Amino acid sequence: MKDLMGKAVLDYFHNENPEDLQTETSISELDELPVAYLFRDFDDMNILEQKALKTAQGKVLDIGACAGSHSLYLQNERNLDVLALDISPGSVEVCKLRGIKKAACENMLNFSGETFDTILLLMNGTGIFESLEKIDKYLQKLHTLLNENGQILIDSTDILYMFDRDEDGGVFIPADGYYGELDYIVHYKGESEDPIKWLYLDFITLKNAAENNGFNIEKVIQDEDSYLAKLTKK
């Protein structure tokens, strides 16, 4: 892994000629992602993120923390005990430089030794599940990391709207696999990461998977095609 996301946030933090990230997927063109967006404060977050951060309680695990904006708010504004977790060494370094007291560079599937009252997976948090084939493995791991009365707050987007429709409103989607399974590629300063698998889930599909893996689930809030869900142990 070239850790282009980590390079970008380190460049931004140290003011060393940062450039916008570029992202693309197997069904979308190149899109600009300003690095400054990863450093936004609470007022600039969307309503799903704000609701999740207001709902968080107790000991918190922030999975996919990136530059640490969610963790920083929970630690400094809500006085919660939060651990920022990310697979990007550069991102974890930035989390620490920004003052996050607890940050670790590790894949969530390999993380162990602690359990939490709240687990956050935000900014299309279901993406980390990679594919429908692997979702059970991730949900079962999350089950082991969650305290008995804890909660998982996770958001995603139903990307059905991105596919073409016919005159009668039918949607043209690929026949091979689930339409939310994409390849996701990050570009920065002329370099490109290898494609990673990324999973966007509609709520019903997430609900079925969660219930099959020992969770109750409820939709907390919907914003157009995106939603925030809360999972608790059955």
What is residue 161's predicted lDDT score, i.e. its pLDDT? 75
What is residue 1's predicted lDDT score, i.e. its pLDDT? 77
Query: Rounded to whole angstroms, how far apart are CA atoms 144 and 72?
Result: 25
Residue 103 DSSP code: E
At 227, give phi and psi (nearest 5°): -150, 160
The token pair that represents 97 in the structure block: 């430089």
Torsion of CA 100, 104, 107, 109, to 10 degrees: -100
**Contact 59/120 with Cβ under 8 angstroms?**
no
Query: Rounded to whole angstroms, how far apart are CA atoms 26 and 49?
Result: 26
Query: Rounded to whole angstroms, how far apart are CA atoms 74 and 63?
Result: 13
What is residue 165's predicted lDDT score, i.e. its pLDDT? 60
What is residue 168's predicted lDDT score, i.e. its pLDDT? 61
How far from each other are the two terminal CA atoms of the chain, in whole angstroms? 37
Query: Rounded to whole angstroms, how far apart are CA atoms 100 and 73?
Result: 10
What is residue 166's predicted lDDT score, i.e. its pLDDT? 59
C-alpha angle 53/56/57, rounded to 5°?
Answer: 145
Query: Rounded to whole angstroms, how far apart are CA atoms 205 and 82?
Result: 29
What is residue 66's predicted lDDT score, i.e. its pLDDT? 97
At 162, give phi and psi (nearest 5°): -80, -10
The ranges assigned to domains in the chain are 4-160+173-233
Neighbour tally for 177: CB within 10 Å: 11
Neighbour tally for 144: CB within 10 Å: 9
**Assigned CATH class of 4-160+173-233:** alpha beta
pLDDT in tens, the chain (234 residues): 799 999 999 999 999 999 999 999 988 889 999 999 999 999 999 999 999 999 999 999 999 999 999 999 999 999 999 999 999 999 999 999 999 999 999 999 999 999 999 999 999 999 999 999 999 999 999 999 999 999 999 999 999 877 666 566 555 566 567 889 999 999 999 999 999 999 999 999 999 999 999 999 999 999 999 999 999 999
What is residue 26's predicted lDDT score, i.e. its pLDDT? 87
